[in-house]
Amino acid sequence: MRVLAINDISCVGKCSLTVALPIISASGVTCDILPTAILSTHTGGFTGYTFRDLSEDIPAILEHWKSLGLKYDIIISGYLGSIEQVDMVRAIRRDFLKEGGLMIVDPVMGDNGKLYVHFDAAFVEKMKELCRDADVIVPNVTEARALCGHDLSAADGDCPALLRELGALCPRPSVTGCDEREGDKTMCAVYYTRKDGTTARFATEKIEGSFHGAGDVYASALVGCLARGVGMDDAVRIAATFTADSIRQTALDKTEARYGLNSESRMYAYLQALDKAAQKA
Ligand code: PXL
């Protein structure tokens, strides 16, 4: 099983490839990487970071890979370094995804009701093209709202409605980070679509605060599970539980949110859950 993770390298801040590579590899499958940009830190909560867009390097990397005859069972794309990279990723899907392989798009563009710096309405429009090519998309609520043309900061959290709207873009959409009241508790839910088109929800108790890199941990663990043949229900449950455990650990450690999730010490529990589900799959 061979996975390709397309994402940036933020040297510090635990997101993108520094999260995807360890989690997907530890899940027990080969994870090759295509870096879209190299930054000294990610862009959320730091100033003065360096940003080298790698768009110019990608064509030669792909030519070399073609000469090796590389093909992938799963391709996951995340943060892109330029709008031009959307078409590059679409071409990568055409040239490198195996027949019957899975294209997963994390349309990384924003969070907490705002687009990240370097993203604008034109990028959102272009990202829709990539989502149309995907089998599975994993936007957070802000990205889902952007893809559906809604006001980003609107307080209403009607994730089932967003999920239905995203169905026009992609056959198996999901929406993560849906805050919902359940009695006296606040829950953080993910809504998702199964292969047969039915929809489902999985929720964990919300831990107050905003935690950078949670979407990357979730998407990477989801890919790890799917790559091991685990079905979507178990994959979502295991990935969301690992993410919630990592957030809880980060809150306990009281490390700064911008330095990312402390998922390292939660990895063993994640792998145990994955192994158990993979055995029955
Ligand atoms: O975690 C999403 C992400 C990925 N990559 C870079 C980012 C962000 C969010 O801020 O800045 C470079």
**Length of the chain as a residue count:** 281
62-90 pLDDT, tens digit per residue, is: 999 999 999 999 999 999 999 999 999 99
User: What separation in Å is there between the alpha carbon of 221 and the centre of ligand 1?
Assistant: 17
216-268 pLDDT, tens digit per residue, is: 999 999 999 999 999 999 999 999 999 999 999 999 999 999 999 999 999 99
Where along the chain do its domains lie? 2-280
Q: Which CATH architecture has domain 2-280?
A: 3-Layer(aba) Sandwich (3.40)
Handedness of CA 232, 239, 163, 105 (dihedral sign): negative
Closest CA to 194 of 164, 231, 228, 225: 231
User: What separation in Å is there between the alpha carbon of 209 and the centre of ligand 1?
Assistant: 18
Question: Residues 242-266, buried b or exposed e (16+ Cβ, 10 A)?
Answer: bbbbbbbbbbeeeeebbbbbbbeeb
Pocket test for ligand 1, best of 14, 18, 114, 116 (most atoms within 8 A of CB): 116
pLDDT for 209? 87
Residue closest via CA to ligand 1's atom 9 equals: 44
Q: How far is CA 70 from the centre of its chain?
A: 23
User: What separation in Å is there between the alpha carbon of 43 and the centre of ligand 1?
Assistant: 6
At residue 207, the 3 state secondary structure works out as coil
Pocket test for ligand 1, best of 6, 43, 263 (most atoms within 8 A of CB): 43
- Residue 157 pLDDT greater than 90, yes or no: no
Indicate the pairing of strand 110-111 with strand 199-205. Answer: unpaired
Residue closest via CA to ligand 1's atom 10 equals: 44
